[in-house]
């Protein structure tokens, strides 16, 4: 007896209009270019390879694969569980889940180093690799082997393939293949970044007692201010990009025709594909030292900013004559690492 084409209810597949496909395809291209630029800057300037940016590199690699796989899926706009549908669904499942893990790994690393002040070594990095590559790979291999990945009628995607809606245990696999980690990230990321921001605020209050010493470091306050803004934006941008996917997931489970709303479809498509572009905007285009170097490379000009003393990744610079108080230096180093 043949399976019904849509076991989750009588709701028909979501039809993608040409303008929706074009918008999402452009988002994929911009995300791919943004993630490529992050990889390029990491490879080009070894002196900027801090541990947070090393973790950002791995996140960018996941976003690269994610953008490429989503681009193929949206371009094809699958109508059945063909072999390339399964392959594309597997690649996007792996890369998208890995992106969640690396995003949370960066937040956890900043929390450990800034708030806890615990020194990190290769052990923590190896743990991040095992979790962020190994767990998504295991989930993806299991999903492919059990034939859980396939055509999803674009009701939980935007043209690409993901978990086959004909699978009886589709909800379990949707959670394992992305939604569970997405929901956890909604909670974990804001909590960690709020704790980090509170710690920075307390450290700044403590540093205010050393105003005579900090008088020789006028750029210190702007640098910490920029760091604060970025710490706030990281979870907010993640949630804003991903929330539309969660909304359509819930609507699909409820068999609501609102899942086919064009605005929701476009927001879902952009949110799932633009992570690499958002990271590029924050950590390349909005980071003065890297932006200045890029402009210098593109224009072959001479920028006075490159001659400033050892600039930090947040756009400030280290004072020419550092403060003598060790507590002040230690707290400033933690703030700069964000």
Tell me the mean pLDDT in the region 258-277.
Answer: 93
Q: Is residue 1 part of a domain?
A: no
- What average pLDDT does the structure give for the chain? 80
Q: Is residue 3 part of a domain?
A: no
pLDDT band at 265 (very low <50, low <70, confident <90, very high): very high
Determine what percent of the chain is predicted with pLDDT higher than 70.
Answer: 77
- Cα 69 from Cα 77, distance rounded (Å): 12
Task: Tell me the per-residue pLDDT of 42-96, one tens digit each, with 9 for 90 and over.
Answer: 888 888 788 888 899 999 999 999 999 999 999 988 888 889 999 999 999 999 9
Q: Is residue 8 part of a domain?
A: no
Q: Is residue 34 part of a domain?
A: yes
Boundaries of domain holding 67: 18-337
- Cα 247 from Cα 250, distance rounded (Å): 5
Question: Which pLDDT score is estimated for 302?
Answer: 47
Task: Tell me the per-residue pLDDT of 193-247, one tens digit each, with 9 for 90 and over.
Answer: 888 888 888 877 776 665 555 555 544 444 455 555 676 788 888 999 999 999 9
CA atoms within 13 A on the CB side of 145: 6
* Chain center to CA of 125: 18
State the CATH number of the domain containing residue 32. 1.20.1070.10
Task: Tell me the per-residue pLDDT of 110-168, one tens digit each, with 9 for 90 and over.
Answer: 888 888 877 677 888 999 999 999 999 999 999 999 999 998 888 888 989 999 888 88
Q: Is residue 232 part of a domain?
A: yes
Q: Is residue 11 part of a domain?
A: no
Q: Can you give the C-alpha Rg of the chain in angstroms?
A: 22
Q: Is residue 154 part of a domain?
A: yes
Question: Which pLDDT score is estimated for 209?
Answer: 61
CA distances to 43, 198, 292, 293, 303 from 298, in Å: 16, 39, 10, 9, 12
Overall domain count for the chain? 1
- Cα 77 from Cα 75, distance rounded (Å): 6
Pair type for strands 162-163 and 149-150: antiparallel
Phi/psi for 149 (5° steps) reads: -95, 135
**Global confidence as pTM:** 0.80
- Cα 62 from Cα 35, distance rounded (Å): 9
Question: Which pLDDT score is estimated for 305?
Answer: 44
Q: Is residue 93 part of a domain?
A: yes
């Amino acid at each position: 007896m043949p399976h019904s084409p849509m076991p989750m209810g009588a709701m028909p597949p979501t039809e993608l209009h040409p303008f929706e496909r074009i918008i999402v395809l452009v988002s994929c291209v911009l995300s791919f270019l943004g993630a490529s630029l992050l990889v390029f800057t990491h490879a080009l300037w070894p002196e900027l390879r801090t541990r947070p940016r090393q973790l950002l590199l791995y996140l960018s690699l996941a976003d690269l694969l994610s953008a490429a796989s989503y681009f193929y899926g949206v371009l094809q706009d699958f109508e059945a569980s063909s072999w390339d549908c399964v392959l594309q669904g597997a690649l996007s499942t792996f890369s998208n889940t890995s992106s969640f893990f690396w995003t949370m790994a960066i937040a956890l690393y900043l929390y450990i180093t800034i708030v806890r002040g615990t020194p990190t070594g290769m052990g923590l990095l190896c743990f991040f690799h095992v979790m962020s590559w190994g767990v998504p790979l295991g989930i993806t291999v299991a999903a492919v082997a059990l034939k859980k990945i396939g055509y999803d009628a674009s009701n939980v995607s935007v043209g690409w393939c993901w978990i086959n809606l004909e699978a009886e245990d589709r909800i379990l696999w949707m959670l394992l293949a992305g939604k569970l980690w997405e929901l956890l990230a909604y909670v974990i990321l804001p909590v960690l970044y709020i704790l980090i921001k509170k710690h920075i605020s307390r450290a700044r209050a403590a540093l205010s007692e050393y105003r005579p010493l900090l008088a020789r470091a006028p750029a210190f306050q702007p640098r910490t201010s920029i760091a604060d803004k970025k710490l706030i934006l990281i979870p907010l941008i993640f949630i804003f990009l991903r929330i539309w996917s969660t909304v359509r997931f819930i609507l699909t489970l409820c068999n609501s025709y609102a899942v086919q709303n064009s605005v929701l479809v476009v927001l879902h498509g952009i949110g799932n594909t633009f992570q690499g572009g958002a990271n590029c905007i924050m950590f390349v285009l909005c980071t003065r030292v890297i932006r200045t170097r890029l402009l210098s490379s593109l224009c072959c000009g001479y920028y006075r900013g490159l001659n400033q003393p050892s600039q930090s990744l947040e756009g400030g610079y280290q004072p020419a004559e550092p403060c003598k108080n060790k507590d002040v230096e230690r707290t400033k180093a933690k703030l700069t690492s964000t």
